[in-house]
């Protein structure tokens, strides 16, 4: 484990994934770009991004969510660059090749927004079309609201800007009690509950809390297994063998991972590196929290957004199926693209379709 500390500050412990962890990853030949920013406590944080396509092409800033990294866009990049688009895809702090603060307290919604605003300003990207999904949307839309002059167009999908100031107190208390309980969750029991988020039978937070609790309680979060289940075609034997390692709390040591699972586990040499993916679900503002006022301001900003805005939802993602209506109400200028399917991580499962929609949006006058 490599630790990076600032000689004048000891508040933030930061981990950096060794380069060799990323050797041999399938279909990811892209050169890394690094930007150093300073955190509020004076620590130096290195953020990674890839920069592909013609330097004079229109810029697409593509932001990933939790628990993945910019590898998620590897299937889209060939389509986009062939269309003459320059693709900038960063890794959020805590993910991919970016540095990983080691403490749960380091990961807040506000910190991630502040870090990515600093990264954006340090690189001085301008005339940008934004695309974000999952936490890439939650964070990226707030970045746009902070630096609107850098952006000419906004697109997003399977994400939003949650603002829920009036959640019933009994729902808030039930979520809190559940997350603090000793109930033990496993991937399948968690997935069953999260898959019912759009059922309309209960408040979505009472289903999303299973994902929040599972991520935080599982020290060796099986990120590769979770992504493989959504992106891969695996044999029952392979799934069962990996599941045994999960039940033992030793998924990182499993020798039965697919190439997809290996790619999404690569950023995490051991469980101590997984604090970001474990902590961030608890900061999704599905109930009122410390982000409430900033969410209100950002939504107010998009209520007056007069530049192009494209909403691109899969339509078959139970976590976000109900969000597009809220996005369209938040931004009256938004246009809704046809739903393309592909589930939550449609960048991987529908790369051609999503790339074509974004290319057409970027090239529209």
Tell how strand 334-336 and strand 309-311 pair up: parallel
Task: Give the whole-angstrom CA distance, residue 75 versus residue 355.
Answer: 9
Tell me the three state secondary structure of residue 313.
Answer: coil
**DSSP 8-state secondary structure symbol assigned to residue 350:** S
In order of 21, 80, 211, 304, 327, the CA distances from 354 in angstroms are 29, 10, 26, 26, 18
Q: How many C-beta neighbours within 10 Å does residue 159 have?
A: 27
Q: Of 363, 345, 362, 341, which Cα lies nearest the Cα of 353? A: 341
Which of 91, 114, 134, 220 is the catalytic position? 134
Among 62, 38, 37, CA closest to 51: 62
CB 299, CB 245: distance < 8 Å: no
Burial 235-257 (b: 16+ CB within 10 A, else e): eeebeeebbebbeeeebbebebb
Verify whether residue 134 is a known catalytic residue.
yes
Q: Is position 198 annotated as part of the catalytic site?
A: no
Closest CA to 226 of 237, 217, 214: 214
Q: Which two tokens stand for residue 241?
A: 């063998």
Query: Catalytic site residue 127?
Result: no
Which residues are catalytic, by number? 134, 317, 344
């Amino acid at each position: 484990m490599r630790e990076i500390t600032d000689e004048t500050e000891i508040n933030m412990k930061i981990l950096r994934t060794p380069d060799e962890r990323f050797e041999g990853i399938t279909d990811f030949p892209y050169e890394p770009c690094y930007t150093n920013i300073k955190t509020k406590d004076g620590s130096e944080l290195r953020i990674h991004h890839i920069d592909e396509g013609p330097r004079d092409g229109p810029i697409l800033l593509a932001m990933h969510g939790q628990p993945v990294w910019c590898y998620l866009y590897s299937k889209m990049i060939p389509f986009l660059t062939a269309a003459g688009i320059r693709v900038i895809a960063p890794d959020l702090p805590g993910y991919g090749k970016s540095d990983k603060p080691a403490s749960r307290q380091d990961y807040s919604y506000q910190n991630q927004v502040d870090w990515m605003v600093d990264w954006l300003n340090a690189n001085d990207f301008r005339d940008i079309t934004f695309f974000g999904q999952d936490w890439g949307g939650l964070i990226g839309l707030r970045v746009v609201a902070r630096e609107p002059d850098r952006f000419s167009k906004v697109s997003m999908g399977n994400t939003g800007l949650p603002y829920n100031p009036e959640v019933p107190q009994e729902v808030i208390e039930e979520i809190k009690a559940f997350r603090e309980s000793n109930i033990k969750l496993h991937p399948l029991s968690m997935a069953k509950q999260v898959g019912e988020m759009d059922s309309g039978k209960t408040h979505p937070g009472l289903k999303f809390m299973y994902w929040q609790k599972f991520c935080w309680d599982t020290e060796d979060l099986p990120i590769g297994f979770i992504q493989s289940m959504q992106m891969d075609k695996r044999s029952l034997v392979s799934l069962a063998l990996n599941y045994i390692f999960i039940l033992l709390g030793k998924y990182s040591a499993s020798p039965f991972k697919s190439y997809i699972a290996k790619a999404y586990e690569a950023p995490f040499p051991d469980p101590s590196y997984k604090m970001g993916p474990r902590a961030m679900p608890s900061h999704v503002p599905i109930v009122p929290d410390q982000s409430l006022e900033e969410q209100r301001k950002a939504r107010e900003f998009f209520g007056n957004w007069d530049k192009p805005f494209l909403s691109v939802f899969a339509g078959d993602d139970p976590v976000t199926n109900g969000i597009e209506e809220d996005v369209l109400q938040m931004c009256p200028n938004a246009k809704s693209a046809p739903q393309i399917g592909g589930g939550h991580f449609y960048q991987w499962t529908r790369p051609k379709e999503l790339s074509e929609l974004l290319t057409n949006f970027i090239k529209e006058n």
